[in-house]
Amino acid sequence: MSTDPHDIRITQYVFDELNDADKIAFETEMEQDPQLRQMVEETQATVGSLQAELQGDPVVGLTEQQRQAIEAGINNPGSVTPGGEQVTTPSTGKALAVMALAASLLLAVSVGIYRYSQTGAIQVARFDSRADSSQAITGDHSTNQSRTDQVASEPLDSRTISEESLEESGLELNFDGKEAAAGLSSPHPVPTTISTKPAARRNKFQSAIPLPPTVRGRDLGVDRGRGPGEGGDRFDRIYENGFLAVTDNPLSTFSIDVDTASYSKVRMFLQQNRLPRPDAVRIEELVNYFTYRYEAPTDDHPFASRVEITQCPWTPNHRLARIGIKGREIDQAKRPSSNLVFLLDVSGSMESRNKLPLLRRGMKMLVDQLGENDRVAIVVYAGAAGLVLDSTTADQKGVILGALDRLQAGGSTNGGAGIQLAYQVALDHFIKGGVNRVILCTDGDFNVGTTGTGSLVRMAEDNAKSGTFLTVLGFGMGNHNDSMMEQISNKGNGNYAFIDTDNEARKVLVEQISSTLVTIAKDVKIQVEFNPKEVAAYRLIGYENRILAAEDFNDDTKDAGEIGAGHTVTALYEIIPMGVSSKALGKIDKLKYQKPTKPSGAANNGELLTVKIRYKQPDGDTSKLLEFPIKDTGKRFGQADQDFRFAAAVAQFGMLLRGSEHKGDSNYAAVLEIATEAAAGDKSGYRQEFLELVKLASQLSDR
């Protein structure tokens, strides 16, 4: 057995992070393997050098004023604002200062915060009054946007004032599409449930490297989601798209998205009588959860697209544009042969009722629909990765279902090795021209073993390039690395769904099996150009983490979303027509160094916008372009088709759950009214279910 330099236990051993059993095993190996011993020793030496070199830095301490501020905070914790900053004066008695400032602080909370510098002059401190780190712990992301307010005689940075006073006027008007739309995500970490580490057995070969003293002790679990007892889910931060002025941002570019996980999660929160965290609400996934009766394509294109425009129900003097795409349906009988590898997380955490058992039932539903031209393999990862079932033709249902039945949860997870193995198996049985897909089923805590998140994503990406796509199915709540699952399915050219019930399993794996398995177009991008004579400003609803730079549209190397057979994709824009005065438009000064660009002749043709779509065939590398303009015929909301009205209601619902500043006149009652009417005649039951969710959300938000 050759020594594996990638064995992370080497480092764990050096840092004394192996449990007793593992440590004994490792030391036994060390006794027998001089190479291993050498690697351990070298690692110890490296750590020793780093320790020595890193300790030397002198560190500046807090200033006297800062210490006093903290002391004031200790004595009067009520005076510390949620933003976490406080005011101190260098003069007089502390108590007096604290009292006076507690009073002015109450005023200042929504206005601004002052900090005395050492010279005594007032400086403005910018801070986030709501979105901040402390709420990471108390579990309340009540807003996605940070506001900064300034009241000052000596501004810190005069460049920022004009932007900030614009923000103060209530809404963001950004001068750069990229800046506005940058769904910059900073995964704020979530402390998860932890148990006590048992008293450790000392290292046999050397004492553990002595580490600097810290405050330690028994770790208690902490929850960051809004419910007791569950480890938190991790979601990327969403910075909501704001209105963009057409003159500065004539192009809006984004990748399509057919994921539906966010809707399932929102549903799960609400059904457990909790409001979802705003960052868990991805509006485009809510809207796309439902199927709409868009026209199917008739020609050679893999999909058909149309744009409709109507009145915006939540801000009546705005317009609402819907871009709808419908993928070509595939006759079940003519579905291409499939080479599927189920990659199943069977770690201990999967044992609960809503995970492994549900997964088994879901996989059975899927297998039931496959035939002799399809193949199924099962790879599990827990402890080690293992091939539970080699690629077997799907007519041998007994064999496959038997293997599924024998799955047991246990062990800790080694996701990285599992993914490698799964892709390998898929490659070994690759079907040219068929469907080749790894279906990853997990509760999301990607203990990635010997590979890191970055390399997993890269692996998914590389395999996608050679034709094996990845679908990610999430099971169970908690320990759910939503952001990572989304990334890896994006890069893996697949979709991401969250399966919380048997119904959802049936929806994803039976009703929509073709959509889930068969990709009919990949790297689908949309670019909209707005006519500056007709449109003053626009706002893309949702898709925050799908925004692309304008030049990415024509760049075929840039990855985008996939459309499955029969999928519908919907994107909504809220539009402020020219000539409409709106609170959403701030005041922008005329440019001093540039003249406003002149609209071209084409701007006079009355078109509101032109939609361009680029897509590639599933096995192609060059994109094709579709392009079509649209005029606004001035429809009122009631004149829009039922599907459009329903989608608008769902978007409104999402905005309410997010506490969006753009929700205009919305409230849950309005959503319910529109949706009820638009859900009439729906046989699938999904729209009815939505109505129930609206009622739940309404009750929960009244408390």
Partner 1 sequence: MNSPEPNPNADWIRRVVECHEQPLIRYATRMLNDHERARDVVQDTFLQLCRQSQQELEGRVTAWLYTVCRNRAFDIRKKESRMSHVSDPQAAAIESREPNQGDQAEQRETANSARQLLTQLPDQQQEVIRLKITHGLSYREIGEITGLSISNVGYLLHVGLKSIREQFAS
Chain residues 472-511 in contact with partner 1, contact rule CB under 8 A: 481, 483, 487, 490
Which CB atom, from 180 or from 320, has the smaller least distance to partner 1?
A: 180
Specify whether the CB–CB gap between 96 and 134 falls below 8 A: no
What is the bridge-based pairing of β-strands 338-345 and 435-442? parallel
The stretch near partner 1 (CB under 8 A) out of 9-17, 257-265, 418-426, 431-439 is 9-17
Which CB atom, from 12 or from 676, has the smaller least distance to partner 1?
A: 12
Which CB atom, from 217 or from 681, has the smaller least distance to partner 1?
A: 217
The torsion angle over the Cα atoms of residues 503, 509, 515 and 519, rounded to 10 degrees, is 150
The torsion angle over the Cα atoms of residues 136, 141, 144 and 145, rounded to 10 degrees, is -70
Check binding of 168 to partner 1 (CB under 8 A).
no
Check binding of 161 to partner 1 (CB under 8 A).
no
Contacting residue, 103, 197, 317, 638, with partner 1 by CB under 8 A: 197
Which CB atom, from 91 or from 138, has the smaller least distance to partner 1?
A: 138
The stretch near partner 1 (CB under 8 A) out of 2-10, 305-313, 603-611, 683-691 is 2-10
Which CB atom, from 252 or from 514, has the smaller least distance to partner 1?
A: 252
Which CB atom, from 187 or from 227, has the smaller least distance to partner 1?
A: 187
Q: How far is the CB of 443 from partner 1 (least distance, A)?
A: 12
Which CB atom, from 47 or from 365, has the smaller least distance to partner 1?
A: 47
The stretch near partner 1 (CB under 8 A) out of 8-16, 268-276, 426-434, 678-686 is 8-16
Per rule CB under 8 A, count of chain residues that contact partner 1: 108
Residues 507-546 that bind partner 1 (CB under 8 A): 544-545
Contacting residue, 3, 97, 126, 387, with partner 1 by CB under 8 A: 126
Which CB atom, from 58 or from 681, has the smaller least distance to partner 1?
A: 58
Check binding of 185 to partner 1 (CB under 8 A).
yes
Which CB atom, from 518 or from 526, has the smaller least distance to partner 1?
A: 526
Check binding of 319 to partner 1 (CB under 8 A).
no
Specify whether the CB–CB gap between 668 and 694 falls below 8 A: yes
Residues 55-94 that bind partner 1 (CB under 8 A): 55, 57, 59-63, 66, 69-70, 73-78, 80, 84-86
Diameter of the chain by CA atoms? 87
The site map against partner 1 for 102-121 (x = CB under 8 A) is --------------------
What does the block give as tokens for 478? 């908690």
Q: How far is the CB of 194 from partner 1 (least distance, A)?
A: 6
What does the block give as tokens for 250? 């004539």
Check binding of 410 to partner 1 (CB under 8 A).
no
The stretch near partner 1 (CB under 8 A) out of 4-12, 317-325, 433-441, 602-610 is 4-12
The stretch near partner 1 (CB under 8 A) out of 407-415, 430-438, 508-516, 637-645 is 407-415
The stretch near partner 1 (CB under 8 A) out of 178-186, 288-296, 301-309, 420-428 is 178-186
Q: How far is the CB of 191 from partner 1 (least distance, A)?
A: 4
Check binding of 459 to partner 1 (CB under 8 A).
no
CA-based radius of gyration for the chain:
28
The stretch near partner 1 (CB under 8 A) out of 171-179, 270-278, 294-302, 582-590 is 171-179
Q: What is the DSSP string of 575-600?
A: EEETT---TTS---PPPSSSPPPPP-
Query: Distances from the Cα of 489 to the Cαs of 261, 304, 314, 484, 500, in angstroms?
Result: 12, 24, 33, 9, 18
Check binding of 21 to partner 1 (CB under 8 A).
no
Check binding of 348 to partner 1 (CB under 8 A).
no
Residues 541-600 that bind partner 1 (CB under 8 A): 544-545, 547, 549
Note the helical H segments in 272-304.
Answer: 283-289
Burial class (CB in 10 A: 0-12, 13-18, 19+), 40: buried
Residues 203-262 that bind partner 1 (CB under 8 A): 211-220, 222, 234, 236
Check binding of 154 to partner 1 (CB under 8 A).
no
The torsion angle over the Cα atoms of residues 199, 200, 202 and 208, rounded to 10 degrees, is -120
Cα–Cα dist 76/270, whole Å: 37
Which CB atom, from 239 or from 303, has the smaller least distance to partner 1?
A: 239
Q: How many CB atoms lie within 10 A of CB 403?
A: 19
Check binding of 468 to partner 1 (CB under 8 A).
no
Query: Distances from the Cα of 78 to the Cαs of 102, 109, 492, in angstroms?
Result: 8, 13, 49
Check binding of 147 to partner 1 (CB under 8 A).
no
Q: How far is the CB of 132 from partner 1 (least distance, A)?
A: 6
Which CB atom, from 207 or from 298, has the smaller least distance to partner 1?
A: 207
Name the residue with tokens 């998860």. 192
Residues 127-146 that bind partner 1 (CB under 8 A): 128, 131-134, 136-137, 146
The values of phi and psi at residue 559, to 5°, are -70, 145
Q: How many CB atoms lie within 10 A of CB 390?
A: 14
Which CB atom, from 260 or from 481, has the smaller least distance to partner 1?
A: 481
Specify whether the CB–CB gap between 551 and 583 falls below 8 A: no
Name the residue with tokens 């003159």. 247
What is the bridge-based pairing of β-strands 496-499 and 243-245? unpaired
Which CB atom, from 235 or from 292, has the smaller least distance to partner 1?
A: 235
Q: How far is the CB of 411 from partner 1 (least distance, A)?
A: 12
Residues 355-374 that bind partner 1 (CB under 8 A): none
The torsion angle over the Cα atoms of residues 690, 693, 698 and 702, rounded to 10 degrees, is -170
Cα–Cα dist 508/515, whole Å: 8
Looking at residue 543, its amino acid is: Y
What is the bridge-based pairing of β-strands 624-631 and 607-616? antiparallel
Residue 280 CB partners (closer than 8 Å, separation 6+): 233, 235, 262, 265, 266, 269, 482
Which CB atom, from 170 or from 452, has the smaller least distance to partner 1?
A: 452
Contacting residue, 182, 304, 431, 578, with partner 1 by CB under 8 A: 182
Cα–Cα dist 483/539, whole Å: 24
Q: Give me the sign of the Cα torsion angle 60, 66, 68, 70.
A: negative
Cα–Cα dist 581/583, whole Å: 7
Strand positions, DSSP E, 103-166 = 114-116, 122-124
